[in-house]
Structure 1
Amino acid sequence: MKVLLYFEGEKALGKSGIGRALEHQKKALAASGVNYTMDASCTDYDVVHINTYGLKSRAMVQKAKKAGKKIVYHAHSTEEDFRNSFIGSNQLSPLVKKYLISLYSQADHIVTPTDYSKELIKSYGITVPISAVSNGIDLEKYKKSEEKETAFRNHFNIKDGEKVIICVGLFFERKGIIDFIEVAKLFPEYRFIWFGHVPLMSIPSHIRKIVTEDHPENVEFPGYIRGEIIEGAYSGSDLFFFPSYEETEGIVVLEAIASHQNLLVRDIPVYEGWLDKDINCYMGNNNEEFAELLQQIIEKQKPDLSNIAYEVVENRSIEKVGEELKKIYTSVLDEKILSENSKTAHQC
């Protein structure tokens, strides 16, 4: 079995959650012994696993169908998580939904990160088999490290006793960036750092203004940072505050959990079944609740839930994701063999 991992615009999307999902897929397939290629010109593959939905991705679907190949479509994107992102996203979202339906419906199997996103896609009327498979997490990469935490603290000149709250995400209203700022205004004594980047001209002017000038002095936007500094930030900060309104999973949440960091997230449906309020994370519904919980967590008035949360990522390791993907590839190839045998028997 050979799998073609197809990813359109890797250079542009590499810094996004979808880009990190691709890196996890590579590691997962290698760990499970699945032979794969990223070479789109390759012709000797058995299954194409498509991660993106641009025009080149659509052309790849047609090419694979014409060649009689099996198609697994990774549904990272939904209409719901397209909204409140780029300029014009809300106006375009109904068209995006129709486009996604047309693409996903041509697959032999759909993979999506959570049961929540699986139900969303089913609600679109798509009848293709759908499996919920986590994007996974590299547990070794996010292990707590004193060296990485020192690199983080030195990079940002964090003083002893200084409290730091972080978030990681694109500059989207959907990600809760406005709420992050509003809560930060209530705590000038704490530092708030939002890691991530998106071209400023692609986002609405009110979000652009927040990032460039209209935020309090205790909020920083250092851009996209990778390696030991961001890994040290996950474990070396005092809280991961992620007020996102919509996710298909939230790889950054898995990264924070893998770093043994406490979580404060919005109480939204995507977390149902794996994040439990006041058991392995803290959840709020509005800024008033966020502010109260944040202060209590920072000041150690709430118990540390990070060790309990770690069980979540143990079940989403790269190795486990690899085995689940391998089963899906095998199943679609088995269907192909059965179909071919059936045609042969019919001809006889």
Structure 2
Amino acid sequence: MKVLLYAEAKRLLSRSGIGIALKHQMEALKRVNVDFTLAIDDDYDLAHINTVGPGARFVANSCRSKNIPIIWHVHTTAEDIRNSFLLSNIYSKYAKFALRKIYSKADFLVFPTRYTMNIVRKYGVKVEGEVVSNGVDTQFFKKNEEKARQFRRKYGLTGPIVLCVALPFKRKGIHDFVDVAKRLSQCHFVWIGSKGLASLLPRDVREILRNPPSNVLFPGFMPQEELVGAYSAADVFFFPSYEENEGIVVLEALSCECPVLVRDIPVYEDWLQDGVNCLKGKTNTDFEKAIEKLISDKNFANELGKMARKVALERDLTIIGEKLKRIYEEVLEKHGKKDE
């Protein structure tokens, strides 16, 4: 069995959730000894597609003509297109119709969460599918005090750190992050994420990046090695996103035992429990109070971090690799192709 792992514009997407998900798939398949290729002109038995652009549609049509089964990984919904880049809200109005047509080309769908599955089912997509987390490398993303010290020294951070890792989109809650930072001037608020798409962002977001409050830092993109230090140094991982299909950065923070604070949105309902392995809030006042509690009550914060690690371990890449391998084998069998 040889699998094509496909994502178009890999260089552009390398710093996005889809790009990281592709890397996770590669590592997961290596761990369970599944042969894969990234080259569309290679020979392969099954295609695992991660994007929805013209390249992905070309690959799907090519596979259909060659009787090669297609698994489509649902990373994109109309809902998570909104409030991202310029004109994204206009595009999102038409996206669900295009996505319904695209995902219906698949033989099998992989959803990162039950929430995403329910959304796509409402589009009218009836293709068989299964929920499989994007996963996290729990051995790499592990609390590291030395890397935490290095991170603090590099950015001159001496007080409590409130961290977020995301592209600077309105949908990710950047305005709320800054508003809460203004209320908690005693804390350092650090938002890590590529600013390479700044020209495509609305004017108000560009203004935040140019002139942040004095206690807010936007260091831009950060390699994963340094990210471990950021998660390890942070007192709170504050992720005020309004819409997610899972949130790989949330998994990374959980894996590093960093106390996590998220917006109370449906995507987390069946795997993150408020007060058990995270804290949830609906308003900026909720977020302010939760951050104050995590900073003042270290015993509670540490216990939350330990429980968070357990959630991550259930989504380790080895487990994800085993699930993907089983799905590949079942799809090949149903397609009349035996695993060789």
Category of TM-score, reference length = shorter chain: over 0.9
Give the distance between the partners of 1:84 and 1:152, measured in 2 at CA: 31
Identify which range, 301-310 or 260-269, moves more after superposition: 301-310
Q: 2:2 aligns to what?
A: 2
Residue deviations 1:156-179 (CA, integer Å, cap 9, x gap): 1223xx111110001111101000
SS at match of 2:336: helix
Instruction: After TM superposition, give the deviation of residue 146 of structure 1 in Å.
Output: 2.5
Q: 2:18 aligns to what?
A: 18
2:5–2:48 contact (8 Å) kept in structure 1: yes
1:70–1:333 contact (8 Å) kept in structure 2: yes
Q: 1:190 aligns to what?
A: 187
* Structure 1 residue identity aligned to 2:323: E
1:264–1:282 contact (8 Å) kept in structure 2: yes
Q: Counterparts in 2 of 1:1-348, with a 5 A limit? A: 1-42=1-42, 44-159=43-158, 162-198=159-195, 199-213=197-211, 215-300=212-297, 303-304=300-301, 305-337=304-336
Give the distance between the partners of 2:313 and 2:227, measured in 1 at CA: 21
Instruction: After TM superposition, give the deviation of residue 338 of structure 1 in Å.
Output: 7.7
Identify which range, 88-97 or 260-269, moves more after superposition: 88-97
Give the distance between the partners of 2:331 and 2:224, measured in 1 at CA: 37
Superposition TM-score, scaled by structure 2 size: 0.96
2:162–2:237 contact (8 Å) kept in structure 1: yes
Give the distance between the partners of 1:60 and 1:328, measured in 2 at CA: 20
Give the distance between the partners of 1:229 and 1:312, measured in 2 at CA: 22
Residue deviations 1:229-261 (CA, integer Å, cap 9, x gap): 211010111110001111000000000000011
Give the distance between the partners of 1:262 and 1:300, measured in 2 at CA: 11
Give the distance between the partners of 1:325 and 1:264, measured in 2 at CA: 30
Instruction: After TM superposition, give the deviation of residue 152 of structure 1 in Å.
Output: 0.8
| Contiguous gaps of at least 5 residues in structure 1 | 340-348
Give the distance between the partners of 1:256 and 1:120, measured in 2 at CA: 26
* Aligned sequence identity (%): 43
SS at match of 2:300: coil
| Contiguous gaps of at least 5 residues in structure 2 | none
Give the distance between the partners of 2:225 and 2:61, measured in 1 at CA: 41
* Structure 1 residue identity aligned to 2:153: N
Superposition TM-score, scaled by structure 1 size: 0.94
